[in-house]
Amino acid sequence: MILNHTHTIDLFPIAPYTFDVSFHKPDHFPTSDNHWEPGVRWQTMRWQGIPLGLKFENVGNLYQPCIRLSIWSQTPLDPDFIKGLRQELEYRLFLNLDLTVFNQRFGDDPQLGPIIARWRGMRPLNVSSLYEYLIIAILLQNATVRRTVSMMQIMYKHYGTLLEYDGRQFYCSWEANDLNTVTEDELRALKVGYRAKFILRISHAFSAGFDEITLRGQPRSEQRKALLGLYGVGPASAGYILSDVFHHLDEMDHISPWEQKIYSKLFFDVDPEQPVPVEQLTELFNQRFGGYRALAVHYIWEDLFWKRKNENIPWLEKLIRL
């Protein structure tokens, strides 16, 4: 599908805001719906059923942030659509997050302070809808990164839409309805394994009305309950979604074994293969980062993975198993 019509609008995040570390997360596995270069991110999006090609460009700075957003579409978009899209992106990109309190509170923390200074203005990144994020969460389960990438790619090939805009090609996600007529065997043929059942059950739930926007307005406990009610979603996936999709900056209910190893090294400087008990990690997070546990760990985590981009971190390589 070739997208020829363009609209351009400006988005104004709350300062401080930093474009690159907010739009590129070195620890996220690569998917063919987006591409980042310094100052630019291409990203497809399906909104109100319409496939869009987005291009975000940094035209501001830390204290006077501005993002120029170009929107490619197959047919012209009316102003109401653009308005709704703007609101949705402001939410998903967390542009209204005011980091002032966080920065003040942890600016003097011996570990977090220098990291905040380095990445000031960074916020978590999620451009996906809840449904799209759930698919990713399912594909992450019990798989290496390489396998997750290949499962995601084959799903895009079969059910996504290839978009061409700005001289580039990216896949755009499908909708839950699109899988209504797909059988478990068809999905299994794509080598997603037992996850086929999860993907279908979740897609059916969304087709039947499971609604992201409604959930946004509910308290975290209700959101968690609703997520855990989805077949194939357990505490790990629910935790990622509550922090990444629903923006709960203090979400830290579940620490999985591989995370436990990395946290043990980062916060206690012990051999990751002899990790400290989860309860001890939880206690440390509560004491030091209470109220902002997810955001604090996000800063430390991203700092580590940016470092990994530039230098070899042997202990980490062993743990992330590409």
Partner DNA sequence: CATCAGGGCCCTG
Partner DNA sequence: CAGGGCCCTGAT
Closest CA to 188 of 196, 198, 180: 196
Q: Is 185 exposed, middle or buried (0-12, 13-18, 19+ CB in 10 A)?
A: exposed
258 binds DNA per the rule CB under 7 A:
yes
Q: How far is the CB of 146 from DNA (least distance, A)?
A: 5
Residues from 228 through 247 that contact DNA (CB under 7 A):
230-238
Is the CB of residue 13 less than 8 Å from the CB of residue 88?
no
Q: How far is the CB of 196 from DNA (least distance, A)?
A: 8
Work out which of 157, 225, 307, 321 binds DNA, going by CB under 7 A: 321
Q: How far is the CB of 30 from DNA (least distance, A)?
A: 10
Work out which of 79, 110, 209, 257 binds DNA, going by CB under 7 A: 257
Work out which of 15, 143, 276, 304 binds DNA, going by CB under 7 A: 143
CA 142 to chain CA mean position, Å: 19
Which of residues 17 and 263 has its CB atom nearest to DNA in the complex?
A: 263
Q: Packing angle between helix 220-228 and helix 235-244, nearest 10 degrees?
A: 140
Work out which of 15, 66, 316, 320 binds DNA, going by CB under 7 A: 320
Which of residues 58 and 126 has its CB atom nearest to DNA in the complex?
A: 126
Which of residues 231 and 315 has its CB atom nearest to DNA in the complex?
A: 231
3-state secondary structure of 273: coil
Q: Is 311 exposed, middle or buried (0-12, 13-18, 19+ CB in 10 A)?
A: exposed
x/- map, 101-140, DNA, by CB under 7 A: ------------------------------------x--x
